[in-house]
Amino acid sequence: MVEDSFMMPVRKGEIEVGKPLGFAVYDADGNLLLNRGVVVISQHQVEVLMKKGLYRPRGREKHSHVATGLDDARPAESSGPSKPVEATVSFDAIKLVPGDALQLQPQQEGQTERFTVHVIGVMKSRSVLVTAPVLDGKLIFVRDGQTYLVRAFSGLNVCAFKTKVLKSQLQPFPYLHLSYPDAVKTMRIRKTMRAPANIIVAVQQSEEGKQIGAGRLTDISVGGAKLLSPMVLGQKGDELWLSFKVTLGDMEEYVKAPVLICAEGEEDDEQGKRMKTFGIQFRDLGQSQRLIIMNLVYQHLLKDTT
């Protein structure tokens, strides 16, 4: 897309961390990356987006409602059902850049491991170069010709494609040449798309502070979650830290993130016990942690659509 009478480049100062976007954001090919009202949650996300080349419509968009980052703190019932938007796009459209995280899942019976690797570079139409997978500090053996399902995210899209290892290299450092995919399947994970959950969490006042309580997440989304606890953990506007494990297939992934309490209430749990409820918003998820939660939501959506 070139600058024309309808679109114009986005300047870095126009995207503010923690504030809803006042316009929709597109890439150079006209693909929608972020909807109007989406909250960009970290400076790193801004920098990654700017590297892709961003455009927005000229003038002001007409609208009847501007979403805020607090939408994810509402109970799931108030959001109403949201349907995933699926599409098949070219690999070029997702515009991966060096450093982006990818998740590799072996396509072999009985193997459920998922390995996180990072993009080194892309040789268009030839191969995708990524770091070699490591687990518990040990290099994972990867043979040439092995096939993987690869997941990534671009904007609020979860992307998936199949690939095979063209070459596993050890020198000058361990890395893989993956086959260049013909197409990529994408599913838009909106901030209001929630997956039901039953996740035990530890609650701290600060990242390294002492645990002040515990609770259970009963649903979770990319932007936030609903937290139940028998105790008062804070008030609206308080910032806390949550630590919890997420199960993806047979694998456990660890998440530790700051959250903001956006809503408070009370309700009975499944056993009829009166519980404190908190609508929380994730404040600054790291790239790998964001991918973990997106995969959890994606996993739930796949169950509903298959």
pLDDT(40) > 70: yes
* In contact, 222 and 290? CB cutoff 8 Å: yes
Tell me the C-alpha distance between 142 and 200, whole Å: 34
pLDDT(25) > 50: yes
Token pair 């804070």 is at which residue?
A: 234
The residue with greater pLDDT, 53 or 228, is: 228
The residue with greater pLDDT, 204 or 271, is: 204
* In contact, 169 and 175? CB cutoff 8 Å: yes
Which residues, other chains included, contact 252 with Cβ-Cβ below 8 Å and sequence gap of 6+? 245, 246
Confidence of residue 34 (pLDDT cuts 50, 70, 90): confident
Could you tell me where in the chain the CATH 2.40.10.220 domains are found?
A: 195-305
Q: Which of 208, 211, 259 is nearest to 236 (CA)?
A: 259
pLDDT(5) > 60: no
Tell me the C-alpha distance between 191 and 74, whole Å: 11
Which residues, other chains included, contact 18 with Cβ-Cβ below 8 Å and sequence gap of 6+? 39, 40, 41, 69
- Across the chain, mean pLDDT equals 78
Tell me the C-alpha distance between 215 and 197, whole Å: 12
Determine the topology of domain 195-305 in CATH. Answer: Thrombin, subunit H (2.40.10)
- Rg for the chain (alpha carbons), in Å? 20
Mean pLDDT of 33-47: 74
- How far is C-alpha 3 from the geometric centre of its chain's CA atoms? 30
Q: Is 13 helix (H, G, I), strand (E, B) or coil?
A: helix
Best CATH choice for the domain 91-188 from the list 3.40.640.10, 2.60.120.10, 2.30.110.10, 3.40.630.30: 2.30.110.10
Tell me the C-alpha distance between 231 and 102, whole Å: 38
Tell me the C-alpha distance between 127 and 96, whole Å: 13
The CA angle 60-64-66, to the nearest 5 degrees, is: 75
Tell me the C-alpha distance between 260 and 282, whole Å: 7
pLDDT(68) > 50: no
Bridge partners of residue 253, in order along the sequence = 246
Mean pLDDT of 44-49: 75
Q: Where are the beta strands (DSSP E) in the chain?
A: 7-9, 25-26, 32-34, 55-57, 85-89, 101-106, 115-123, 127-131, 134-135, 138-139, 147-154, 157-169, 175-179, 184-188, 195-204, 211-220, 224-229, 239-248, 251-268, 274-282
Confidence of residue 54 (pLDDT cuts 50, 70, 90): confident
**Burial class of residue 168 (count of CB atoms within 10 Å of its CB; 0-12, 13-18, 19+):** middle
pLDDT tens, residue by residue, 166-178 = 999 998 999 999 9
**In the chain, pLDDT over 90 holds for what percent of residues?**
30
pLDDT(304) > 60: no
Could you tell me where in the chain the CATH 2.30.110.10 domains are found?
A: 91-188
Confidence of residue 179 (pLDDT cuts 50, 70, 90): very high
Tell me the C-alpha distance between 290 and 298, whole Å: 12
